[in-house]
Structure 1
């Protein structure tokens, strides 16, 4: 029989709370402003990430669709060709995920699309080729931190913090567009 002490759960929640508090004071609002401007001024928005960062990307794409943006998830069968007036937003803690780097390179060099990255690694390959870099501190898979590794293995802190940041960004965009939750409900899926 498993004996539940709850110790790890409470420690995880405290660690996440502290991590979010640190994000609140460390986020570069100038970069966030550039990301918002890029979203607002783009014809279409393409979003991608791999693995769990991909789930974060899909969640953000859904919210942008609810806000009325023309948005696509890279890799889906209904995603059209990206064009010069479009924005590609990539989400990658390491900024080195090969599939994401390769696709981003293609969008940048072949098409000339604007590139934004959400990453923990401001000196990564993705960051170096991006027009907008928003740094979300989080332990990436390659770092060694025994305490965090035991509580939140691999990229968990980056993924959770990115999700929270992007939901905060949605709130800002909701305000900028003068929309309400009722406006979002008009685009919410009913075929589910």
Structure 2
């Protein structure tokens, strides 16, 4: 079991080494400047997005997940973070197009350099990882479907939250104060 775990960690390191800081830095700056942040994704990408939204909320950002009943309308000055392995997920594309039409910025996390959403997104971060639609030999993974992409997205978005909050003193205490207390 330990060998499998270490193999997965090795795969994730290889994916992380393929990330481009020149894509990530402006992505972070757009989040930093945003009035509000909205997060969109379907399936497992959506779950990674919800984890990201929760961490941003803990860090003091005003953040919403699309499709929730309490999500307000998006407007100019806001940012939408779209997460889609293919960059072509119909529902995520529809949300991104609507956000773009309001003047909000669209940021995309995907594996596809030439995706439908990526063509009009303001910023793209490309993760070179396997997805359920592209599990070719180009990706070195022992994992099924899009596990490698999902895990890589989760770690990347956690790293982005750390970058956004690295100057916050007593960060753990600040975030704990925002943590749910109706448990």
> TM-score scaled to structure 1, two decimals?
0.88
Shift of 1:169: 1.4
Counterpart in the other structure of 1:50: 42
Query: CA 1:33 to 1:144, structure 2 compared with 1: closer, same or farther past 3 Å?
Result: closer
Name the SS of the counterpart of 1:186 in structure 2: helix
Q: Gaps spanning 5+ residues in structure 2: where?
A: none
Name the SS of the counterpart of 1:108 in structure 2: helix
Counterpart in the other structure of 2:164: 173
**Is 2:87 the counterpart of 1:95?**
yes
Counterpart in the other structure of 1:86: 78
**Is 2:60 the counterpart of 1:68?**
yes
**Is 2:181 the counterpart of 1:190?**
yes
Aligned length in residues: 183
Mapped partners of 2:103, 2:46: distance in 1:
23
Contact 2:40–2:95, Cα closer than 8 Å, also in 1: no
Equivalent of 2:24, from 18, 29, 32?
32
Structure label with greater radius of gyration: 1
Contact 2:8–2:142, Cα closer than 8 Å, also in 1: no
Q: Gaps spanning 5+ residues in structure 1: where?
A: 1-5
Name the SS of the counterpart of 1:65 in structure 2: helix
**Is 2:132 the counterpart of 1:132?**
no
Mapped partners of 2:30, 2:55: distance in 1:
16
Q: Which has the higher contact order (CA 8 A, sep 6+)?
A: 2
Moved over 6 A (4+): none
**5 Å matches for 1:96-111?**
96-109=88-101, 111=102
Shift of 1:15: 3.6
Name the SS of the counterpart of 1:94 in structure 2: coil
Shift of 1:185: 0.4
Name the SS of the counterpart of 2:80 in structure 1: strand
Mapped partners of 2:162, 2:124: distance in 1:
20
Shift of 1:186: 0.5
Mapped partners of 1:15, 1:119: distance in 2:
23
